[in-house]
Structure 1
Amino acid sequence: MESNYYTLKRTDNQLIMVTHLAQLLTYLTGFGGLIVPLIIWATQKDKVEGLDAHGKAIINFQLSTIIYCIISIPLILVFGLGILTLIIIGVLAFVMPIINAIKASNGEFPKYPLSFNFIS
């Protein structure tokens, strides 16, 4: 009997959309925006078509956002520049997951601006 080493992945745009929207948990809990998408990505990336690419984009964006926030803190002392960057980061971190969730529901690939490529 021949064994089948590959499995078919299912299409689940709704789960991908929820993964993008889970980033907004940061605004409710302060930390869930990285943890929940990371858990969904780690457990479902081999089972759902396209989730691996979406999950990597989400994790890269969340890690980039954290780094930008850390860099912005000392910039507050430089003419308040850090406050401006924190506001921009806050707006982008709120708007981009919503935009990319809509794109994911249409089967499109997400685009997160100013995101470092930690996981490729």
Structure 2
Amino acid sequence: MSVPPDSTVPPPAAPPPADGPIHESSPSAAERQWALFAHLSALLGCLLTGHWFGWGCFIGPLIIWLIKKDTMPFVDDQGKEALNFNITLALIGVILLLFSIITFGLGFIPAFFIGGIVGIAWLVLIIIAAVKANEGVRYRYPFALRLVK
């Protein structure tokens, strides 16, 4: 038996969207740019203060997040993510410094190497986060304390 020519099979439903954008529509170009700045401002802060694990690393993400959190949801999300990650790294720096002091300088050598590895991971992860934010994709750092919610 054949199918009458007037009846057609409906097309299959569209697949659900993949993980990525924070809201239904893609973030605007301005949101993506500010999210990019939120991640990269940590690099600028560290260059200006001269400390890899210093306070300058989270001042930039904090300022951008505070300014744009109410008007741009994507920047709110990525700014908090950048801020939390850089606060986490500042805490790691303080812990390594305290370890060196408590051990009367003997812990400086392992702290120096651990700090170097963490510093390289910090740089790589910030660059990855900045690229993802520029693409409009939410990025979650693999190890960050969620202190700012």
TM-score normalized with structure 2 length: 0.67
- The 3-state SS of whatever aligns with 2:33 is helix
Q: Distance in 1 between matches of 2:92 and 2:142?
A: 12
Task: Note if 1:55 corresponds to 2:82.
Answer: no
Unaligned ranges ≥5, structure 2 = 1-26, 50-54, 101-105
> Which of 96, 112, 119 is equivalent to 2:141?
112
Matched length? 111
Change (3 A) 1:26 1:72: same
Change (3 A) 1:17 1:116: same
Task: Note if 1:92 corresponds to 2:121.
Answer: yes
Amino acid at match of 1:86: G
Q: Distance in 1 between matches of 2:60 and 2:107?
A: 35
Q: Is the 8 A contact 1:75 1:81 kept in 2?
A: no
Paired residue for 2:19?
none
Q: Is the 8 A contact 2:93 2:115 kept in 1?
A: yes
The structure with the larger Rg is 2
Identity %: 31
**1:51, CA displacement in angstroms?**
1.2
Q: Is the 8 A contact 1:69 1:89 kept in 2?
A: no
Change (3 A) 1:86 1:26: farther
The structure richer in helix per residue is 1
Runs of 4+ in structure 1 off by over 6 angstroms are none
> Which of 39, 43, 49 is equivalent to 1:20?
39
CA displacement, residues 37-69 of structure 1 (integer Å, 9 cap, x when unaligned): 111110111111311111111111111001101
Unaligned ranges ≥5, structure 1 = 1-9
